[in-house]
Structure 1
Amino acid sequence: MEQKSKVYTYQTAVKWTEQRKGIMSCGGKPEIQIATPPEFKGHEGIWSPEDLFVASANICLMTTFLAVAERAGLAFSSYESTAEGRLELVEGKFQFTAITLKPVITVKSGDDAAKAKELIEKAEANCLISNSMKATVTLEPVIR
């Protein structure tokens, strides 16, 4: 049986406000102030495309994990994650070459630790954002 292709579209808008700053919007969601990062003569304390790029991989891992954990019936009490992206000059152009995701998942029963590790690995393999990135995405989970 042939599987039908699903296509979704996502739209955002950006508007320059001053200097190297702007506003990002997306229908029905709060606006986010954005800017060039300080490393590129931008502004401290404001979300940059680089922050959002790394965050998108981190967020996608969490939301994909939540979906697979729910389907598998995994009982866990907490999920927290940090992410770090490495931006390098490659052949004269900056690009992210690596993103490391470090989720910490606390399970309600120690018996579920192996299941949680399996599910976070499944989530990473199925994360549509990571799968769309050129950078190598590395998973370093901690299960408690």
Structure 2
Amino acid sequence: MAKHSFHISTEWPGLRNDTGTLSSEHFHTKISIPPEMDGPGIGTNPDEMLLGAAATCYIITLAAMLERSHIEKKDLTMTSEGIVEVEKGVITYKEIIHRPILSLGSAASEKDIALSKKLMLKAEQSCMITRALKGNVSVKVDPEIHM
């Protein structure tokens, strides 16, 4: 069994409503509490980072599945929404909704369209991040295919 480690460095020099930094080998950004949670909203935050992890994992997984299935795509874009609930002062990440938009070439057959839609739904189940969230955060896909 192969194992991989990923590394992040964080620095938080102040108190609750201050800002810190988040760094890895490939990025460096400021972090703070989002304004929706009475923070300064500077840089990114844990909620966006979780949504970003789920979104990037999903879209990369979908692109790989389309490639392996020899589906010729013109374009693949997506918006994702993270829904957080506050109840009695407890903040809970409840749901992620991915809205991928896949544009296929004009030569795409009905079979290609059907397989693409199946893969758009299956990619969510195949994504490592979604599997890590399973049982805690609901992840849904609302796919759209264009010709």
Mapped pair 1:74 → 2:71:
yes
- 1:121 CA displacement: 1.7
Unpaired stretches in structure 1, ≥5 consecutive residues: none
1:16 partner amino acid: W
Identity of aligned residues (%): 24
The counterpart of 2:20, out of the listed 18, 22, 28, is: 22
Provide the TM-score with structure 1 as the length reference: 0.87
Q: Equivalents in 2 of 1:42, 1:64: separation in Å?
A: 33
Alignment size in residue pairs: 139
- Conserved? CA contact 1:107–1:116, under 8 Å: no
Q: Equivalents in 1 of 2:118, 2:37: separation in Å?
A: 39
Match of 2:118 in 1: 118
Mapped pair 1:88 → 2:90:
no
Summarize deviations over 1:66-95 as a string: whole Å, max 9, x none.
111111111001111111111113575211
Unpaired stretches in structure 2, ≥5 consecutive residues: none
Summarize deviations over 1:27-80 as a string: whole Å, max 9, x none.
2x1211211111222223521111111121111110101111111111001111
1:10 partner amino acid: F
- Conserved? CA contact 1:17–1:23, under 8 Å: no
- 1:8 CA displacement: 1.9
Q: Equivalents in 2 of 1:45, 1:143: separation in Å?
A: 35
Segments ≥4 residues shifted beyond 6 Å: none
RMSD (Å), alpha carbons: 1.8
Q: Equivalents in 1 of 2:75, 2:42: separation in Å?
A: 28
Provide the TM-score with structure 2 as the length reference: 0.85
